[in-house]
Structure 1
Amino acid sequence: MKMNFIFYLALLAVPCYGLVQEMSKPQPPTLHKVHLVEDGYKLVSMYSSDEGMKLHHKLPENVLSVATFESTINENGWAKLSISTNPTHSNKKQAYAAGYLEGTATKTMIEDNWFNTIGDMCNPMSTFCLNLKKFLESNMEFMISMIKNNPDSPYWKQVELNLLQLQGLEDAYYGEAMNINSTLHLKPMGLILININGDLESLQTVLSEDHVNHHHVIGSGSCSALIKLLPGYKDLYAAHDTWSGYNSMLRIMKKYQLSYKDDNGELIPGHTSSFSSNPGSIFSGDDFYILSSGLTTIETTIGNNNPLLWNNVTPQSVLEWMRNLVANQLARHGEEWATTFKRFNSGTYNNQWMIVDYNKFTSGEKPKAGLLHVLEQLPGMCVHKDMTHLLVENSYWASYNSPYFQEIFNTSGLPALVAKYGNWFSHDKTPRALIFARDHSKVTDMDTMVKLMRYNDYKHDPLSACNCTPPYSAENAISARNDLMPANGSYPIPALGHRNHGATDVKVTTSEMRKTYEMIAECGPTHDTQPVFQWSKSSYVNTPHKGMPDVFDFNPVHFKWD
Structure 2
Amino acid sequence: MNLKQIFFIVFIISLASCQVKQLEDESIQFDTQNLNLNYLQSSTIKLVAIKKGDSFLVQQNDDNKYSVNKKEVCASIEYQKTLNETGWDVIFLDTNQSFSPEEQMQCAGFLEGLASKQAIADFLFNISSQRGSTKEQYKAFFTNVYNNLLSKANNPPKNTEQYWNTAKLFLIQLVGLKNGYNALENNEDSKLELWQISLPNIDGQADEIDQLIASGSQELGVNQQQILVHQKAKLRRHINHKRKNSLFEWEQNAMHSRCSAFFKILTAEQANGAKILKDIFASHSTWEPFSSMNRIYKFYRLPSLISTHSWVQMSSYPGAITSTDDFIVKEGKFLVTETSISSQNRDTVSSLRAIDVDIPDFIRVQTATSLSQSGMQWAEYMSKYGAVKMYSSEWMILDYSKLQKGKEIPNNSFIVLSSSYEQQIIEDKTQELIDNTYFASFNNPHNKIIRDYLGYTQVEQYNDLFSLKQDPRNLIFKHFQAKAQSIEKVKWLMLHNSYKKKPLEGEPTFQSSVAALGARGDIEGGSNFGEVDVKVVNIDLLKNFSVEAISGPSHQEQPVFIWKQNDNDRHQGQPTAWNFDWGTMSLSMKSSQ
TM-score if structure 2 supplies the norm length?
0.80
Contact 1:345 1:379 in 2 (8 A): no
- Aligned mate of 2:283, from 230, 234, 239: 239
1:136 aligns with 2:142: yes
Change (3 A) 1:301 1:57: closer
CA distance in 1 between counterparts of 2:57 and 2:331 reads 32
Structure whose residues are more often helix by fraction: 2
- Aligned mate of 2:62, from 18, 40, 46: 46
Contact 2:514 2:530 in 1 (8 A): yes
Q: Percent identity?
A: 28
CA displacement, residues 282-304 of structure 1 (integer Å, 9 cap, x when unaligned): 00000001103511000001121
Unaligned runs of 5+ in 1: 1-10, 48-53, 178-185, 467-471, 488-497
Counterpart position of 1:22? 39
**Which amino acid is the alignment partner of residue 451 of structure 1?**
W
Aligned 1:427-442 pairs, distance under 5 A: 427-442=468-483
After the TM superposition, which of the residue ranges 77-86 and 128-137 deviates more from structure 2?
128-137
CA displacement, residues 61-107 of structure 1 (integer Å, 9 cap, x when unaligned): 31111111111111111111011111111111111111111111111
RMSD (Å), alpha carbons: 2.7
- Aligned mate of 1:380, from 410, 422, 439: 422
The Cα of 1:249 is off from its aligned counterpart by 0.5
The Cα of 1:33 is off from its aligned counterpart by 4.8
Counterpart position of 1:363? 405
Contact 2:68 2:94 in 1 (8 A): no
The Cα of 1:44 is off from its aligned counterpart by 4.6
**Which amino acid is the alignment partner of residue 147 of structure 1?**
A
The Cα of 1:523 is off from its aligned counterpart by 0.3
CA distance in 1 between counterparts of 2:517 and 2:152 reads 42
**Which amino acid is the alignment partner of residue 517 of structure 2?**
I
Counterpart position of 2:211? 205
- Aligned mate of 1:94, from 104, 107, 115: 104
- Aligned mate of 2:551, from 523, 527, 542: 523
1:171 aligns with 2:179: yes
Counterpart position of 2:538? 510
Contact 2:472 2:516 in 1 (8 A): yes
CA distance in 1 between counterparts of 2:348 and 2:541 reads 40
Change (3 A) 1:290 1:56: closer
The Cα of 1:40 is off from its aligned counterpart by 6.4
Question: What secondary structure does 1:118 align onto?
Answer: helix
Change (3 A) 1:120 1:477: closer
CA displacement, residues 204-248 of structure 1 (integer Å, 9 cap, x when unaligned): 222335788432454123101011113533111111000010011
CA distance in 2 between counterparts of 1:345 and 1:428 reads 34
1:219 aligns with 2:253: yes
CA distance in 2 between counterparts of 1:500 and 1:15 reads 40
After the TM superposition, which of the residue ranges 361-370 and 377-386 deviates more from structure 2?
361-370
Contact 2:39 2:45 in 1 (8 A): no
The Cα of 1:34 is off from its aligned counterpart by 4.5
1:153 aligns with 2:194: no
CA distance in 2 between counterparts of 1:360 and 1:312 reads 40
Counterpart position of 1:180? none
CA distance in 1 between counterparts of 2:289 and 2:370 reads 29
Contact 2:45 2:115 in 1 (8 A): no
CA displacement, residues 270-324 of structure 1 (integer Å, 9 cap, x when unaligned): x421000000000000000110351100000112121111134333232321211
Counterpart position of 1:335? 376
Contact 2:288 2:530 in 1 (8 A): yes
Counterpart position of 1:390? 432
CA distance in 1 between counterparts of 2:130 and 2:521 reads 25
Question: What secondary structure does 2:264 align onto?
Answer: strand
After the TM superposition, which of the residue ranges 436-445 and 389-398 deviates more from structure 2?
436-445
CA distance in 1 between counterparts of 2:107 and 2:203 reads 24
Counterpart position of 1:248? 292
The Cα of 1:14 is off from its aligned counterpart by 7.7
Contact 1:246 1:504 in 2 (8 A): yes
CA distance in 2 between counterparts of 1:259 and 1:164 reads 12
Contact 1:474 1:482 in 2 (8 A): yes
1:478 aligns with 2:495: no
Contact 1:132 1:203 in 2 (8 A): no
1:311 aligns with 2:350: yes
Contact 1:201 1:349 in 2 (8 A): no
The Cα of 1:115 is off from its aligned counterpart by 0.8
Contact 1:242 1:503 in 2 (8 A): yes
Counterpart position of 1:5? none
1:546 aligns with 2:572: yes
Question: What secondary structure does 2:233 align onto?
Answer: coil
TM-score if structure 1 supplies the norm length?
0.84
Contact 1:84 1:259 in 2 (8 A): no
How many residue pairs get aligned? The number is 507
**Which amino acid is the alignment partner of residue 331 of structure 1?**
S
**Which amino acid is the alignment partner of residue 324 of structure 1?**
V
Contact 1:204 1:213 in 2 (8 A): no
**Which amino acid is the alignment partner of residue 131 of structure 1?**
Q
Contact 1:312 1:380 in 2 (8 A): no
Aligned 1:73-88 pairs, distance under 5 A: 73-88=83-98
Contact 2:67 2:76 in 1 (8 A): no
After the TM superposition, which of the residue ranges 509-518 and 75-84 deviates more from structure 2?
509-518
Unaligned runs of 5+ in 2: 1-27, 186-191, 215-224, 238-251, 269-276, 589-593
**Which amino acid is the alignment partner of residue 573 of structure 2?**
G
Change (3 A) 1:425 1:260: same
CA distance in 2 between counterparts of 1:430 and 1:115 reads 35
CA distance in 2 between counterparts of 1:85 and 1:15 reads 19
Change (3 A) 1:347 1:311: farther
- Aligned mate of 1:556, from 551, 576, 582: 582
Contact 2:95 2:302 in 1 (8 A): yes
The Cα of 1:529 is off from its aligned counterpart by 0.7
Change (3 A) 1:511 1:408: same
CA distance in 2 between counterparts of 1:319 and 1:19 reads 36
